[in-house]
Structure 1
Amino acid sequence: YLIIDEYDHFANDIIAMGNNEFYKEIVRASGFVRDFYETLKIGTETVIDRIFITGISPIMLDDLTSGFNIALNVTMDLSLNEMLGFTEEEVVKILEEVEIEEKEREKSLEELKELY
């Protein structure tokens, strides 16, 4: 199994800087990012059984489809919603266990809901 977290973080940074030409260069057919994912795809034939990739946004996923066309976007699949990360109930329990005061717990939960 191969797990890649925030596979597109660097690409979003490049786009945010306004460097669209560099972005296009690295994800084009012979760009190093596309080559990397094509290598992973080849690896699924022999050594890699499953690949789980998380990202910040679907921008790069669209640009990699021809080089990495074995992907299935499960972002909105409710049956997988709790696959990774923490549920709200688990976060509340953790905050209680580390003895965060109730007022701070509520504030932390609101911030987490807004940001994540």
Structure 2
Amino acid sequence: MALVRIEGDDLVVLIEGLDKLWALKSRLTIPLTNVRGATVDPGITTDPKGIRAPGTRVPGVIAAGTFHRDGEKVFWDVKDPSKTVVVELADEEYARLVLQVDDPRATVALVENALI
């Protein structure tokens, strides 16, 4: 699971627990100027992920780490699709972040309010 927070002018994603091991990352810091928005999107978990490198994927159980598809890099950290938030990015290493969070609606509100 991921913890999303705003620190100054940055969106900070902290990867918690064993997900650090599966995703091979513990923290992502993205300038808010490069965040386009966030949405609750449990359906994205059924989309093809692409090539995993590096990370972990067990279909129906976990997708964590960096996935490459159609020329884009997407960071995933999801076990429970019902708690999925997608953060769209511009001019960053990743095109989007697909994250499992404790409260998807509150996380989207946090991100969207920071962009105002």
Greater strand share, structure number: 2
TM-score for the superposition, normalised by structure 1:
0.26
- Give TM-score, length-normalised by structure 2: 0.26
Higher helix share: 1
Structure possessing the higher radius of gyration over alpha carbons: 1
